Structure 1
Amino acid sequence: MNRKLRIGVIVAAVAVALGVGLWLVSHGGEPDADAGASSALTVEVVGLEKRAWPQTLEASGSITAWQEVIVSPETGGLRVADLLVDVGATVQRGQLLARLADDSVRMELRKQEAALAQARVALEQATSNLKRAKAVGDSGALSEQQLEEYRINEATARASLSSAQADVDSTRLKLKQTRLVAPDDGFVSSKSAVLGNVVNAGSELFRLVRKSRVEWRPELDARQLGMVHTGQSANVVLPGGKQVPGKVREVGPTLSEKTGRAIVYVSLPTDSAARSGMFASGTIALGTKSAMTLPQSAIVSRDGRSYVFAVDAQGKVGSRAVDTGRRQGDRVEILTPIEAKTRIVASGGAFLSEDSQVTVTGQRQAGTAP
């Protein structure tokens, strides 16, 4: 029985194998390739989206004071008696910054005031003499020559009084100039005054940033300059990474003969972190321009180029090299023309190869996060 059973099993196996072989022959001799194909990845697809994006111009330049004010004494030969502000202090117009020693000036003023009093008395006397001479002259007791002398004495006394008054006014002005005040609102950017130092007229003691205003001054070439206009908004990135908004105040009217570039003056808020002397980069908004965009996740970088993977009707992918432009958030501008109906793999393209079979689960809506 065992021997017969073994023979039966062998015969059955041969029959099954023969049947499978006949079936393969009847179907072309090999299994269906599609039946054995497997999906490499399950993906979402996305289409290009048109967006209106702001067009910007990148530039860099220094941050400087809008205007600087130099505070210096108008009179010299006096000692610095008091310093009332230091670097960084915010001052208002007319605020006292420093005081020069005024003892010698006050003494000179008293002397000039005494001379003025003497001149005033001399004029009164000359006027009185001329009045009496005229009264006597009418009776013929004085000659015309004597009357003329009285007139000359009165005129001389009047001129001496004017001269004495001018000396007093000059000394009072000199006394006033011993008080150095802020010519305008702002903050003190530098101080060279030293307590006790004898200063010369015109020597710099303080430097102020007028109105506490600083501005960004990027340099642009002739082509870029034609796109910039007064009133355009700007965004300045400070060395620490902080961003400061600004507005174009003025566009330089001429280009440098050495560099071929012109300066653009961008006003910054007075309460910003920008400081004079910084070097910053930034952008100037030029208006809006439409852009065909894809999410950043759809872009694959290989060998220094950017690619996207398009899915055809059979579910196979093919790579396409694209040129990219502006970026905003997670969106990238695609400069290479692509048909609007093209289905692009939304993410995971780095794991795909040419002609890979994928399973599409759906199309991602514009603005939806991966």
Structure 2
Amino acid sequence: MAAFIIVAGAAAWRFTPGPSAHAETHKPPAALTVSLVEPQSLQWPDTIEANGNTAAWQEAVIGAETGSLRITELLVDVGSEVRRGQLLARLADATAAADLSKQEAAVAQARANLEQAQADVKRSRLAADSGALSTQKLDEYRITETVDRAALASAEAELQNRRIVLSQTRIVAVDDGIIASRSALLGNVVGAGTELFRLIRQGRIEWQAEVDAQQLKRIRAGQIARVTLPGGTAVDGKVRLVSPTLSTNTARAIVYVALNGRDAQAGMFASGSIELGNAPAWTLPESAVVPRDGRTDVYVLNSDGATVTRRTVVTGRHRDGRCEIVSGLDHGMHVVARGGGFLSDGALVKVVQDKGLAGIAAAVGKTQGGTL
């Protein structure tokens, strides 16, 4: 009986795994196979982010310059592109044309009177040499000539006025641009000064960005801006004017940015950035940055070459697929390039060989795991 117990105990001892064998069997696999990147310093434009509305660079009001005339023809509508001097509408011109003809006749009569007076003066001078006319009569002829010359000048001035009135029955564009609104109605009798059209001069639209006092001090005319319109369309522009004052209601100032192209329309709400100049940026690929629960994380390889640590960072500018790291990351750290959203703090990883990181990859070459 004792011999059986000894043999059974020996058999049990022979098949009980040691601590090292147990650990080898239950060693956890790597969560992911990852590549690593190091933060890179780049010269990026320092920018100010802002929001604001788009508006016409300048608007021109086109109205009637003469009154009590009926609109007889409309040639353009809202959205029409027009050129300077282009005919937009006509007013009834029968009365103005008749007045012009009447004044042309008055000018002809005044010119004839002047010619008669000039002939009388010429003949009186010949007669005066023979003593047939008195000095008083000669003076009367000269005065009549002067009065008739003045009458002709007055008639010609009135003729020019009648021509202007007739031309004012043609409503024309005061500049190149786009018709933004039209209040003219066919058949309506308009008075002098009545607005008929409103024109966006040269079709130019600008972005009116709102900035605070600290930002305002850094902005200058001529700086480059990039504006994102509703729908995602990006438009380039340039700062045209910086407001010298801030609103007493909002404590914000307006920066006027002239936009390129014709994608923008007046009245849009847009966001954008104004470039202040180049400044160094400590950057990572955007794929290495993991937004999560209101914070931004990256995963850094530990010194053991096999596990990662989560670090919360503060980000800044984004450009060309890279993200600026303002704080939370030290120089020389190796960051998981992509797939951080599948990792957790302390996760085991397998590092694939990457240029400049061959030593780290060799140190963890025996680690097992899945590939992202």
Q: TM-score range by the shorter chain?
A: 0.7 to 0.9
1:306 aligned to 2:301?
A: no
Instruction: Say which SS state the counterpart of residue 319 (structure 1) adopts.
Output: strand
1:99 aligned to 2:90?
A: yes
- The 3 A distance-change label for structure 1 pair 349 and 111 is closer
Question: How far is the alpha carbon of 1:102 from its aligned partner?
Answer: 0.9
Instruction: Say which SS state the counterpart of residue 327 (structure 2) adopts.
Output: coil
TM-score with structure 1 setting the length = 0.84
Could you tell me which of 187, 192, 208 is aligned with 2:183? 192
Question: How far is the alpha carbon of 1:89 from its aligned partner?
Answer: 1.0
What is the percentage of aligned positions where both structures have the same residue? Answer: 48
1:13 aligned to 2:8?
A: yes
Could you tell me which of 317, 321, 344 is aligned with 2:312? 321
CA distance in 1, matches of 2:263, 2:97: 46
CA distance in 1, matches of 2:69, 2:204: 33
Could you tell me which of 128, 153, 162 is aligned with 1:162? 153
Tell me what 2:263 maps to. Answer: 273
Tell me what 2:277 maps to. Answer: 287
CA distance in 2, matches of 1:91, 1:157: 47
Instruction: Say which SS state the counterpart of residue 117 (structure 1) adopts.
Output: helix
- The 3 A distance-change label for structure 1 pair 349 and 135 is closer
Question: How far is the alpha carbon of 1:338 from its aligned partner?
Answer: 3.3
Tell me what 2:367 maps to. Answer: none
- The 3 A distance-change label for structure 1 pair 316 and 166 is closer
Question: How far is the alpha carbon of 1:168 from its aligned partner?
Answer: 1.4
1:203 aligned partner, one-letter code = T
2:263 aligned partner, one-letter code = A
- The 3 A distance-change label for structure 1 pair 125 and 188 is same
- 8 Å CA contact retained: 2:34, 2:351: yes
- The 3 A distance-change label for structure 1 pair 13 and 85 is same
Question: How far is the alpha carbon of 1:135 from its aligned partner?
Answer: 2.6
- 8 Å CA contact retained: 2:52, 2:208: yes
CA distance in 1, matches of 2:268, 2:248: 25
- 8 Å CA contact retained: 2:39, 2:333: no
1:279 aligned partner, one-letter code = F
2:11 aligned partner, one-letter code = V
TM-score with structure 2 setting the length = 0.83
Tell me what 1:248 maps to. Answer: 239
Question: How far is the alpha carbon of 1:316 from its aligned partner?
Answer: 4.0
- The 3 A distance-change label for structure 1 pair 97 and 317 is closer
- The 3 A distance-change label for structure 1 pair 352 and 86 is closer
CA distance in 2, matches of 1:130, 1:301: 102
Tell me what 1:82 maps to. Answer: 73
CA distance in 1, matches of 2:4, 2:343: 48
- The 3 A distance-change label for structure 1 pair 33 and 359 is farther
Tell me what 1:27 maps to. Answer: none
- The 3 A distance-change label for structure 1 pair 352 and 201 is closer
- 8 Å CA contact retained: 2:84, 2:174: yes
| Bigger CA radius of gyration | 1
Question: How far is the alpha carbon of 1:274 from its aligned partner?
Answer: 0.9
- The 3 A distance-change label for structure 1 pair 244 and 316 is closer
Instruction: Say which SS state the counterpart of residue 138 (structure 1) adopts.
Output: helix
Instruction: Say which SS state the counterpart of residue 248 (structure 1) adopts.
Output: strand
| Structure 1: gaps (5+ residues) | 25-29
- The 3 A distance-change label for structure 1 pair 335 and 345 is same
CA distance in 1, matches of 2:117, 2:291: 104
Question: How far is the alpha carbon of 1:104 from its aligned partner?
Answer: 0.8
CA distance in 2, matches of 1:301, 1:218: 28
Tell me what 2:352 maps to. Answer: 362
Superimposed CA distance per residue, residues 276-308 of structure 1 (whole angstroms, 9 cap, x where no aligned partner) = 122211112223333333344544555533333
- The 3 A distance-change label for structure 1 pair 365 and 282 is farther
Question: How far is the alpha carbon of 1:218 from its aligned partner?
Answer: 0.8
- 8 Å CA contact retained: 2:314, 2:328: no
1:190 aligned partner, one-letter code = S
Tell me what 1:49 maps to. Answer: 39
Between 299-308 and 232-241, report the one with greater CA deviation: 299-308
Indicate the RMSD between aligned Cα atoms, in angstroms: 3.0
Question: How far is the alpha carbon of 1:169 from its aligned partner?
Answer: 1.6
CA distance in 1, matches of 2:167, 2:345: 87
Tell me what 1:219 maps to. Answer: 210
Superimposed CA distance per residue, residues 222-279 of structure 1 (whole angstroms, 9 cap, x where no aligned partner) = 2212322333222211122222222222323343444433322212224x22111222
Between 39-48 and 55-64, report the one with greater CA deviation: 39-48
1:235 aligned to 2:226?
A: yes
1:140 aligned to 2:142?
A: no
CA distance in 2, matches of 1:94, 1:347: 61
